[in-house]
Amino acid sequence: MQKEVEVFGVTYDRYVLLQLHKIFTRDLNLKTVVEMPSHGAKAAGSVYSIGFGLAGCRVMLVNHEPEMMVGWEELGIRNLVETISDTDIYQTGIQDEQFDLAWNFVTWTELNNPARYLKEMKRISNRYVLLVTCNNFQPGYPWHRILHRIYGFPWTHGNVKYNHVTKVKKLFHQTGLKIVEYGAIDTPGWPDPSGPRDVRLHRRYGTGSTSPSSRKPDWEVPIIRYAKTNQFPGWMKKLGKWDMTFRKGLFKLPMSHLFYVLGEK
């Protein structure tokens, strides 16, 4: 496999997730969490939930990426995570209300039936459901679509209509979930860019790629090293403080790469 190192922008959004997970674990008194599905989106999968693990939660990863479990081992929290594979995410077989929180990072928009999926997330949670989603209400999104057209790459980033907070809030209401909190995160001050990295990843690993390498890269994830030593770059901590302080509502939406919606049964 060819090696790919997650760039600083990806590392920053992982840092923001760590902070968000810490806050939710404390404020919502979370003990058990399920991430479903847990594969990656232009980045390493199955390490998006490490913030919950570092906060002391027991975590289940549904349809995980086995090679990325090394990150949990490096952080010394492998004992807090279990995994299940080849699971129908619409009918998981997981018992009712098994987890305090069911959540997903970005990849839920790839599903054919998000409403049915959200109902299953609601069923296996005893209280909360959280979706973190790419934000199309920021200037990097049109450029991303233009690049796909220029290079002829098929769109592999899910149904874009769900990359709008109003659509996701409506989906929560239709599923019978009361919205507790929503907001914009990953707001570093620059648009979410699509550039040489995205072109390279699509050429090497995207649909229709003719690269002789594996269809999945060997990811290096810098956030694991930072979290292991608890030493994060100063710029990351400063931006993260701004991000978390003003995360609620739509104030930061025009320049945020991500938004989240937290619902309650």
pLDDT at 209: 42
pLDDT at 213: 40
Please tell me the distance from the alpha carbon of residue 147 to that of residue 203, in angstroms, as a whole number: 12
CA dihedral over 261, 181, 244, 79, signed as positive or negative: negative
pLDDT along the chain (265 residues), means of 10: 88 97 98 96 92 98 96 98 97 98 97 97 98 94 89 89 97 98 95 78 66 66 97 97 97 96 98
136: closest CA among 111, 168, 114?
168
pLDDT at 203: 82
pLDDT at 207: 56
All structural domains of the chain:
3-139+157-191+221-264 (3.40.50.150)
